Structure 1
Amino acid sequence: MRHHIKGGLVAALGLMSGTALVQAADLPARTAPVPVFVAPVVSDWGGFYAGSTYGYDFTNFRTRQGNGASRKLDKSGQSGGGFVGYNYQFGHVVVGAEGGIDLNLVRGNERATTAGLPTHLDSLYDVRLRGRLGYEFGWFMPFVAGGAVINESYQSSEAPLNASGANKQSTGYTIGAGVDVKVNPAGYLGLQNGFLASLLGPLVVRVEYLHDSLPTSTYAFAGRSFRTNSDSDIIRAAIIQRFGDNPARPYIDAATQTVNWAGGYGGVFGGGGFITPETKNLLTGGKTRYDTSGAQGGLYTGTNFIFRDHYMLGIEGSTAYTDIEGKGRQPTGPVSFRNYINADLRARAGYAWGSYLPFVSAGFAYGRSEQIDTNTGSQLGRVNNEAIEVGAGLDYRISERVSVRGEYLHEFGINDKIVNLNNTNTAKQSIEGDFFRVGAAYHFE
């Protein structure tokens, strides 16, 4: 078994000087030489990187019904996702661009009323496109960042037998600051080679603060209209893989003449999907099955481990924005469906055959959808879907650093959801989905 080893970056500066030999006691003492200034080595922060993030979100919603008084609703919860970016370095100054998708669990009921109606607010996801400016100090780099954030939120009333609400997407600004730190966990543990050293080798760890501000949006449901805006303060950490922090590996192994697929990667993908929800009315027993389709796009990151030159095992995660829509007919009338977010975490196994890497995968997937009874206007804007996901695909290496991919994924729900659009339409729902993706990834080693 051949092990591919990640190594740490080690920098050392030394200063050597000598002393003069005194030839005779009556010679005058020599003055010490003027110290020679040696400029510090500039650490390389340029190039592509990809990472996963997790944090906590504190959101202040301000909502107003009609001409009523504005009410402030404070919510908090978890947030996490993935991002990719690219840095340019000019001396010690680093500038770059970064894009990412985060899923939010920032929700809750407000029992106090706004003009007599209980209000539920839920931040669903964020897409951020940011510029960054940093100054590197060798192994760490503080930075500031700013750009645009796209958010979708759900506002609703939660009466006992009725759920009415509306989803709205809005675009605002995001600013923040943080620090990226280069670490080598394997080196700290004294691991020089082997599987664990490969898994834990050089990473960048990030801690940052973000502030998002979203403009006022109008949510109309249940015969009422709300005007709502929000500000969020987010504290999060990230683990990043970056090109240049690992020792270079030959693209083609000299001994076996095989392409080296080991190591971390990150990329973007796009494609389409088909989701088939099936509902069973709990009052009448009637079943409804309807088909939906649409586009999706997002980010994926992962790591490959190669054994015996050809056999690959790896782990990969992705987060995607989707726009998969369709209509069906439940016992009370027509219903529309839209899936708007999807994420997964999968194990992969494959066989590296030159520039080709066919693979199979299996893991867990998570999605969210909205459904509307088009007769009554009742809407559920946040239906969570958990699923088992299996798939197969092919990665093809087009250069030393870039690969392209095509793959198919199938999801089947692992639990039924209760869908209560109104008091005559309470149903259990199960979901299956088929997705086709193409993508391109950058390999960091």
Structure 2
Amino acid sequence: MKKILLSSVALLGFTAGAMAADLPSRAAPAPVVAAVPVFTWTGFYVGVNAGYGWNTSNKSPYFFDPVLGYSGDGGNDGGFVGGAQVGYNYQMGMFVLGLEADIQYADRSRDRGYYALGYAYDRSSDDWFGTVRARAGVAFDRALVYATGGFAYGDGNGGWTAGGGLEYAFTNNLSAKVEGLYVNLDHGHRNDGYVVGYSAGRGKDEFGVVRAGLNYRFGSY
């Protein structure tokens, strides 16, 4: 009788253990952690900029007369430059390729010359210009170091531009940049006849630009 009782107790214990193993676990599920999106420079952007532009050419308009000679002056004066830009970047690994266009107001110097018999010549530098440029750079997460260059235009004349800069994304959609450009526009010669003399304007409009900008980037993480 004692052996039968002990066997029954053992059988009940085994059965209870088996049933407990089949019950669903009451342990708390592991927390689900959302993956943090990887930052990318790919996407469209628009922005504004402001800075300083100055003439880099020492050539000035001149006035020539076989008898009375010539006079003229010019300089490397500069002034405020500001405008807006729009562009697109595409990132491949660490490398970023892009295209940017901008339009700028430029308050730069004025060239003057005076003729001996009273004829005066006054020519202001263009008060606007624009560029269409390629950009190529290397990204270090939210920092982008790049070179840029392409087509420049102003006052119906064309030319070229080249430079570089540094851009940093301090939020997912806002980035700030510092950029330097050299611009070379072909203006040709301007001739103004006056009795026995003539005047000729500067053939090239060459100037430098240093500016800071702020971009709003669409569709980035």
Length-normalised TM-score, structure 1: 0.36
**Structure-1 residue corresponding to 2:87:** 302
Which protein, 1 or 2, shows the higher relative CO under an 8 Å CA cutoff with sep ≥ 6?
2
CA distance in 1, matches of 2:114, 2:205: 15
- Deviations along 1:411-434, whole A, 9 cap, x unmatched? 123x34222355344314221100
- Give the Å deviation of 1:311: 0.3
Q: How does 1:10-409 map to 2 (within 5 A)?
A: 252-253=37-38, 259-276=39-56, 278-279=59-60, 281=62, 283=64, 289-307=74-92, 309-329=93-113, 335-368=122-155, 384-409=156-181
- Give the Å deviation of 1:386: 2.2
CA distance in 2, matches of 1:440, 1:399: 12
Paired residues, what number? 174
**Structure-2 residue corresponding to 1:105:** none
**Structure-2 residue corresponding to 1:441:** 215
CA distance in 1, matches of 2:216, 2:36: 13
- Deviations along 1:122-166, whole A, 9 cap, x unmatched? xxxxxxxxxxxxxxxxxxxxxxxxxxxxxxxxxxxxxxxxxxxxx
Whether the 8 Å CA contact 1:299–1:320 is kept in 2: the answer is yes
CA distance in 2, matches of 1:428, 1:251: 59
**Structure-1 residue corresponding to 2:10:** none
- Deviations along 1:244-301, whole A, 9 cap, x unmatched? xxxxxx9841xxxxx3111111111111100245346485596854223111211101
The structure with the larger Rg is: 2
> Secondary structure at 1:418's aligned position in 2?
coil
Whether the 8 Å CA contact 1:390–1:409 is kept in 2: the answer is yes
CA distance in 2, matches of 1:323, 1:289: 15
> Secondary structure at 1:290's aligned position in 2?
coil
Whether the 8 Å CA contact 2:60–2:111 is kept in 1: the answer is no
**Structure-2 residue corresponding to 1:420:** 191
- Give the Å deviation of 1:305: 1.1
- Give the Å deviation of 1:343: 0.7
> Secondary structure at 1:440's aligned position in 2?
strand
CA distance in 1, matches of 2:49, 2:168: 14
> Greater helix share, 1 or 2?
2
**Structure-2 residue corresponding to 1:223:** none
CA distance in 2, matches of 1:328, 1:417: 17
**Structure-2 residue corresponding to 1:191:** none
> Greater strand share, 1 or 2?
1
Could you tell me the percent identity over the aligned residues?
Answer: 26
CA distance in 1, matches of 2:130, 2:162: 13
The unaligned stretches of length 5 or more in structure 1 are: 1-249, 254-258, 369-383
CA distance in 1, matches of 2:36, 2:199: 58
- Give the Å deviation of 1:339: 2.2
Whether the 8 Å CA contact 2:161–2:184 is kept in 1: the answer is yes
- Give the Å deviation of 1:444: 0.5
CA distance in 1, matches of 2:121, 2:63: 17
CA distance in 2, matches of 1:359, 1:398: 17
CA distance in 1, matches of 2:175, 2:78: 28
Amino acid in the other structure paired with 1:302:
G
Computed over aligned residues only, the root mean square deviation of the Cα atoms, in angstroms, reads 2.7
- Give the Å deviation of 1:329: 3.6
CA distance in 1, matches of 2:73, 2:36: 53
- Give the Å deviation of 1:317: 0.2
CA distance in 2, matches of 1:328, 1:252: 58
CA distance in 2, matches of 1:354, 1:304: 14
- Give the Å deviation of 1:322: 2.0
